Amino acid sequence: MIQKSSTINDVARLAGVSKRTVSRVINGSLSVGDSTRVRVEKIIAELNYSPNTQARGLASSRSYLLGLIYDNPDALYLDDVQRGVLEICSTLGYELVVHPCRYRSETLVQDCLNFINRSKLDGVIVLPPVSELESLALALKNAGRPYVRLTSVSIDEPQHIVVSDDRAAAAEMARYFAQLGHQDIAFISGPQRYKSSTERMEGFKLGLSAYGITLQTERIIEGNNTYETGIECARNLLSQTPLPTAIFANNDQMAAGVLKVAHQMGIAIPDQLSVAGFDDNLLASRVIPALTTIRRPVRQMAQLATTKMIMVIEQNDKAAQQVAAKVAPTLVVRESTAQAAVAVSS
């Protein structure tokens, strides 16, 4: 005889609560008291009750699907974000659908709305640089679609953003270089149409200025946040005479490109040239020499964004506002930086 599976009605009856309360416990709602939550969870465990996402969606008019919208060439960054999102989703019973898009596409906003409608999403998390587009945020608001943006500047209400203070972090890197005695410093920026890139460059300049150091125009070159453009930019900078004594790259991918070119040119790291990046992705600790960088807590940001999103979906805006809206990246010193050497000719 086939044993009948337990239902939400069974859980509610044995726990002495309504089906709605059981549903709230399953969905991680903060509106359920601790004692009630413990009692319901105990019954769920005893009955081995496990509602599927589709059934939950039909019962609550929600899909329990979250979307992730991005246009970022850094696969390691995306992996970190997805891991953070999924850690919260798996705990609270949601699933994730990802949507790559083209930041510069004229149809980006409509494409994103079509994705949300087609996938029947409860809400979306938007990554930079797409998250910087006010046109998309406005369209999501007008459509009544819950969203959270990961950004480097405070450009929205607290329940809709998680901010990484990139400007302050870049200033910290500048102070570190200055305290090592570096005066002739180069900077490989990301695309200047991105707020994150401008925030990092302005923060770096500000940090250097506190030590009376000016970032010279010829020592600034723009890359595209890829390993390949890091190589191109490094060849440009390392063909200059004299060589800079330090290079700060907008992300770890481009910094790794600098390490490669320096190795090819016989420039010793860090004896002749200090190199640093930004992000502290998996690559940073595995290249040789290991890369000094800024650790941006990407996974934590993704977790905070997902928590905010689910609170907004559950119409608990007050709780969403109380979840941290800003994180502080930190300096990580490794083997690719050292005291300034005397400038050498190429």
Full pLDDT tens readout for the chain, 346 residues: 445 677 878 888 899 988 778 877 776 666 678 888 889 888 888 888 776 555 555 445 678 899 999 997 678 888 999 999 999 988 888 889 999 988 888 899 999 999 999 999 999 999 999 999 999 999 999 999 999 999 999 889 888 999 999 999 999 999 999 999 999 999 999 999 999 999 999 999 999 999 999 999 999 999 999 999 999 999 999 999 999 999 999 999 999 999 999 999 999 999 999 999 999 988 899 999 999 999 999 999 999 999 988 888 887 777 777 777 889 999 999 999 999 975 444 4
One domain, residues 209 and 287: yes
Number of domains in the chain: 3
Whether 67 and 121 have beta carbons less than 8 Å apart is answered as yes
Q: How far is CA 30 from the centre of its chain?
A: 25
Our CA angle for 75, 79, 85, nearest 5°, is 145
One domain, residues 186 and 274: yes
One domain, residues 242 and 307: no
Strand intervals (E) in the chain = 65-70, 95-100, 123-126, 147-151, 161-164, 185-189, 220-222, 246-249, 274-276, 293-295, 326-327, 330-332
Q: Which residues of 108-129 are buried (b: 16+ CB within 10 A; e: fewer)?
A: bbebbbebbeeeebbbbbbbbb
CA distance readout (Å), 139 to 39, 99, 110, 154:
42, 17, 9, 19
Give the gyration radius of the chain's Cα atoms: 24
Average pLDDT of the chain, as a whole number = 88
**Residue 33 tokens, joined:** 């008291």
Residue type, 86: L
One domain, residues 171 and 292: yes
One domain, residues 250 and 324: no
One domain, residues 187 and 118: no
The boundaries of the domain holding residue 226 are 166-296
One domain, residues 280 and 302: no
One domain, residues 150 and 241: no
Greatest distance between any 2 Cα atoms in the chain: 85
3-class secondary-structure state, position 151: strand
Identify whether 339 is part of a domain.
no
Residue 140 belongs to domain with CATH number: 3.40.50.2300
Residue 19 belongs to domain with CATH number: 1.10.260.40
